[in-house]
């Protein structure tokens, strides 16, 4: 089984914290859509005819595309690849793009899962992030979306300077009250070259507080567990039956094809990533040239990636999957973490505790070979 990711690099405006590849100009949208169709043909053999169980439109803001453009992309993918009839097809959407008409059209096009970029239900937070929507749109779009889609996830951000624990609790309680079955919750990160980074450097905005972020993450885990959500990956919480099949495939090491500028692909042996430039991407594809860089993974890199991705999940790291020598080394190197309550070892699986999840990156790096 494999997945396909389609990157749509257009946004109405730049969120201050975002470091993904995007453009606020739709000038070459038609040419871009045609290039996507052509790349899908050029990459037809990449997944070696494996069945496609997920398709994911990410960005950027895919909901800026016309419904007919999305429908055309889905039909084209189905004509080229062995897409399962019950495949999960996700569309990332912003609240200000969601209307009753579009919801109906998206469903008719084949979309069966929505990922809505809420980020916060507070007006001052949205303005601070430079989001294009407001609080009313966030609430209204969720009510409307629930009438047409059962499988919905929302993004929320914590750890912003003005986000108190009480406001963070209200954000979570609002999502739970609206019966949102899946939440992706991320600590705000300050990436270089973003407007937020520059504003903090100029002392125009307050910097983040890592201690505050850790406290809000601990609170989040407690609230979501009490509400009956599975914390199935570091940043993801789902009601039973609503885990993201597409994102789960990344953590399980399955193959995937990335289409569009900056999109990444993995075939089990190597990784490759398309150029992060819309015009060069379009020109190259029109010439029948794939504009990507490639890296062949070594056995050690594959092992370390398995350690990294599996420890992010609820199931954890299965030592029985590894060679005996490697398994023994991991048992030994994890002993201190287990003794300090940061990990548990059970039924041949190593898992992070809630306390350990606060230091997931550091623990994982120390277990690398």
Could you tell me if 200 and 306 lie in one domain? no
| Residues 114-141: tens digit of each pLDDT | 999 999 999 999 999 999 999 999 999 9
281 pLDDT band (50/70/90 cuts)?
very high
Residue 23 has a pLDDT of 85
Q: What is the pLDDT of residue 193?
A: 87
Sign of the CA dihedral 261, 263, 268, 271? positive
Residue 60 has pLDDT above 90, yes or no: yes
165 within domain boundaries: yes
Average pLDDT, the chain: 96
Average pLDDT over residues 269-287: 97
pLDDT value at position 26? Answer: 87
Q: Give me the CATH number covering residue 314.
A: 1.10.10
Sheet holding 113-119, edge to edge: 230-233, 236-238, 182-187, 152-158, 113-119, 83-93, 52-59, 2-8, 255-259, 264-266, 270-274, 292-296
Same domain, 234 and 311: no
340: left (phi over 0), alpha (psi -120 to 50) or beta: alpha
pLDDT digits (tens, 9 = 90+) for 316-367: 999 999 999 999 999 999 999 999 999 999 999 999 999 999 999 999 999 9
Of the candidates 251, 286, 318, which is a domain's last residue?
251
Instruction: Report the CATH number that the domain containing residue 202 is assigned in CATH.
Output: 3.20.20.70
Peptide bond preceding 60 in cis form (omega within 30 of 0): yes
Residue 81: inside a domain: yes
- Residue 43 pLDDT grade (very low, low, confident, very high; cuts 50, 70, 90): very high
183 and 68 co-located in one domain: yes
On whether residue 272 sits in a domain, the answer given is no
Q: How many domains does the chain have?
A: 2
Instruction: Assess whether 156 and 9 both reside in one domain.
Output: yes
Residue 155 falls inside a structural domain: yes
Is the domain of 92 the same as that of 226?
yes
Residue at a domain's end among 189, 218, 251: 251
Which tokens is 97 given?
Answer: 């793009």
Secondary structure, 3-state, 302-340: HHHHHHHHHHCECCCEEHHHCCHHHHHHHHHHCHHHHHC
Mean pLDDT, residues 243-259 taken together: 96
Q: Does the residue 288 lie in any domain? A: no
How large a percentage of the chain has pLDDT more than 90? 96
**Domain housing 149:** 2-251
* Token reading at 316: 């954890």
Residue 236 and residue 321 in one domain: no
Tens-place pLDDT, residues 95-108: 999 999 999 999 99
165-180: pLDDT as tens digits: 999 999 999 999 999 9
Distance CA 223, CA 173 (A): 9
Tell me the HSE value of 294 on the side-chain side, using a 13 A CA sphere: 8
Q: Are residues 326 and 241 in the same domain?
A: no
Judge whether residue 147 has pLDDT over 90: yes
220 lies in the same domain as 327 = no
Residue 321 and residue 225 in one domain: no
27 domain-assigned: yes
pLDDT value at position 19?
Answer: 87
In the chain, what percentage of residues exceed pLDDT 70? 100
Do 170 and 243 lie in a common domain? Answer: yes
Q: Are residues 151 and 217 in the same domain?
A: yes
Q: 187 pairs with which residues across the strands?
A: 158
The residue from 211, 236, 251 where one domain ends is 251
pLDDT at 25 (0 to 100): 85
User: Considering the domain boundaries, does residue 321 fall inside one?
Assistant: yes
Examine residue 104 and state whether it is found in any structural domain, yes or no. Answer: yes
pLDDT tier for residue 22 given thresholds of 50, 70 and 90: confident
Average pLDDT over residues 79-88: 97
Residues 43 and 174 in one domain: yes
Summarize pLDDT for 215-242 with one digit per residue, the tens. 999 999 999 999 999 999 999 999 999 9
């Amino acid at each position: 089984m494999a997945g396909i990711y389609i990157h749509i690099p257009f946004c109405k405006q730049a969120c201050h914290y975002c470091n993904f590849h995007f453009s606020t100009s739709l000038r070459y949208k038609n040419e871009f859509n045609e290039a996507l169709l052509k790349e899908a043909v050029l990459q037809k053999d990449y997944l070696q005819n494996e069945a496609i169980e997920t398709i994911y439109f990410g960005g950027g803001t895919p909901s800026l595309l016309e419904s007919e453009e999305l429908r055309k992309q889905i039909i084209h993918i189905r004509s080229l690849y062995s897409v399962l009839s019950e495949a999960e097809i996700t569309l990332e959407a912003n609240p200000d793009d969601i209307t009753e008409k579009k919801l109906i059209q998206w469903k008719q096009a084949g979309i069966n899962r929505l990922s809505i970029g809420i980020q916060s239900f507070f007006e001052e937070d949205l303005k601070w992030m430079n989001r294009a929507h407001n609080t009313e749109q966030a609430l209204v779009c969720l009510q409307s979306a629930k009438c047409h889609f059962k499988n919905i996830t929302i993004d929320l951000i914590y750890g912003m300077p003005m986000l108190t624990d009480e406001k963070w609790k209200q954000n979570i309680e609002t999502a739970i009250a609206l019966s949102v079955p899946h939440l992706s919750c991320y600590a705000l990160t300050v990436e270089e070259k973003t407007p937020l980074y520059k504003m903090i450097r100029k002392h125009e905005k307050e910097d983040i507080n890592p201690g505050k972020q850790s406290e809000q993450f601990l609170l989040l885990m407690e609230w979501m567990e009490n509400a009956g959500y599975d914390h199935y990956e570091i940043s993801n919480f789902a009601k039973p039956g609503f885990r993201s099949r597409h994102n789960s495939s990344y953590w399980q090491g399955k193959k995937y094809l990335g289409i569009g500028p900056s999109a990444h692909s993995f075939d089990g042996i190597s990784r490759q990533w398309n150029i992060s430039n819309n015009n060069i991407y379009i020109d190259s594809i029109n010439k029948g040239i794939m504009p990507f860089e490639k890296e062949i993974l070594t056995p050690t890199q594959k092992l370390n990636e398995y350690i990294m991705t599996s420890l992010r999940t609820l199931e954890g790291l299965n030592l029985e999957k590894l060679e005996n020598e490697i398994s023994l080394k991991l048992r030994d190197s994890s002993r201190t973490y287990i003794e300090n309550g940061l990990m548990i070892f059970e039924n041949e699986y190593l898992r992070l505790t809630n306390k350990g999840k606060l230091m997931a990156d550091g623990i994982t790096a120390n277990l690398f070979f």
